[in-house]
Amino acid sequence: MEETSKFAIHEAARDGRTLVVESLLNANPKLADRKDDDERLPIHWATSYNHLDIAILLSAGKNFDPDVQDGSGWTPLMIAVSLKEGEELVKLFLQKGAD
């Protein structure tokens, strides 16, 4: 992961680097709402790669929207449902009020 990348939190979320995500969020909580070039948030990447701990971190923010769509119209819940072992993520997003 490039430290200078403008999408460092997206890369860390995708790669399952929980401590990096936590550190980046502590430094700048607004990073959780930054869209990448595919209009995906870090929560979309964490969910796609079934990183529950990171999804919990990202969904804890006060501005978290469980129904936020990526550039293809997928929500975190839709992604979680499509995963072979995404049950815990599905539960998380339903608890957060996802439709």
Q: How would you write the pLDDT of the chain (99 residues) with one tens digit per residue?
A: 444 588 999 999 999 999 999 999 999 999 999 999 999 999 999 999 999 999 999 999 888 999 999 999 999 999 999 999 999 999 999 999 998
| pLDDT at residue number 12 | 98
| pLDDT at residue number 5 | 83
Please state, in angstroms and rounded to a whole number, the distance separating the CA atoms of residues 84 and 70.
20
Which CATH code fits 8-95? 1.25.40.20
Quote the tokens at residue 54.
């990171």
The CB density around residue 27, as the number of other CB atoms within 10 Å, is 9
69, 72, 91, 70: which is closest to 80 by C-alpha? 91
| pLDDT at residue number 2 | 44
| pLDDT at residue number 62 | 86
| pLDDT at residue number 20 | 98
Q: 76: Cβ–Cβ under 8 A, 6 or more apart, which residues? A: 43, 44, 47, 55, 59, 66, 68, 89, 93, 98
